[in-house]
């Protein structure tokens, strides 16, 4: 893309959205949404949990407007096509995967961010600041290498397990903490006890730190964003 793109961000009150910019455009007013989209080149959706299923309205408005070069759906976590999760996170990821297929089928140029990774054997994940995810999102807007790619934001030095975190904290405070290991059966039971959205957050945490049996590692159309730039993968 030549020059800087004009960007419309929808969902600025969502968890990641507030770290990017205040939103413009009304998700539930088709005419105003189309009008707003016609003034920009790129649409970034940062809607929260309760609006994830309504992102098809954005795709419909983008299709009618006919001028958008890129659409970033509200995906700033686990790669929803390659994850094992329990309910209610399973349904949440399923809705996001359905939106991916909708974007692909309508021919909309898209980009997706995956900011959470996992190692199935060590149950480790990468720790990142929300501000960094927001920065990478904006940087990806005008980079031709990121078009129709999944962006894996996984700095190797930030990969850590819960045991690693506890050990670091013990070193910092100079004390040895008691570690209580909870069986997965109890964890799964605990996930279902609270109300939404806490239940969703616990289920997502389980999918990231928990067991990964049956997880597919066949990743496609991907690009990794490191601190030094963007490295496309074949």
Please answer whether residues 78 and 219 qualify as being in contact, where contact means their C-beta atoms are separated by less than 8 angstroms.
Answer: no
**Within 13 A of 215's CA, how many CA atoms are on the CB side?**
22
110: left (phi over 0), alpha (psi -120 to 50) or beta: beta
Q: Is 175 an active-site residue?
A: no
Locate all alpha helices (DSSP H) within the chain, ordered by sequence.
30-37, 56-65, 89-105, 130-141, 162-173, 184-192, 198-209
Of 4, 57, 63, 96, which is the active-site residue?
A: 96
Length of the chain measured in residues = 234
Of residues 150, 115, 146, the one with CA closest to residue 130: 115
Please answer whether residues 23 and 59 qualify as being in contact, where contact means their C-beta atoms are separated by less than 8 angstroms.
Answer: no
CA dist., res. 47 & res. 76, Å (int)? 11
Nearest-Å Rg of the Cα atoms of the chain is 19
Helix (H, G, I), strand (E, B) or coil at 209: helix
Please work out, in degrees rounded to the nearest 5, the angle formed at the alpha carbon of residue 224 by the alpha carbons of 220 and 228. Answer: 165
**Catalytic residue list:** 96
């Amino acid at each position: 893309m030549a020059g800087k793109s004009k960007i419309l961000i929808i969902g600025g009150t969502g968890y990641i959205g507030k770290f990017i910019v205040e939103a413009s455009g009304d998700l539930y007013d088709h005419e105003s949404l189309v009008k707003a989209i016609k003034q920009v080149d790129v649409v970034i959706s940062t809607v929260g949990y309760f609006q994830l299923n309504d992102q098809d309205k954005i795709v419909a408005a983008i299709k009618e407007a006919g001028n958008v070069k890129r659409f970033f759906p509200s995906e700033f976590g686990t790669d929803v096509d390659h994850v094992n999760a329990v309910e209610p996170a399973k349904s949440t990821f399923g809705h996001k995967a359905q939106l991916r297929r909708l974007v692909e089928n309508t021919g909309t140029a898209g980009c997706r961010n995956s900011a959470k990774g996992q190692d199935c054997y060590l149950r480790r994940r990468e720790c990142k600041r929300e501000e960094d995810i927001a920065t990478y999102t904006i940087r990806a807007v005008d980079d031709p290498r990121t078009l129709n790619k999944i962006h894996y934001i996984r700095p190797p030095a930030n990969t850590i397990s819960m045991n690693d975190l506890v050990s670091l904290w013990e070193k910092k405070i100079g004390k040895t903490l008691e570690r209580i290991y909870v069986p997965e059966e109890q964890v799964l039971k605990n996930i279902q006890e609270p109300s939404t959205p806490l239940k969703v957050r616990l289920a997502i945490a389980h999918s990231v730190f928990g067991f990964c049996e049956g997880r597919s590692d066949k990743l496609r159309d991907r690009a990794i964003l490191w601190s030094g730039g963007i490295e496309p993968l074949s």
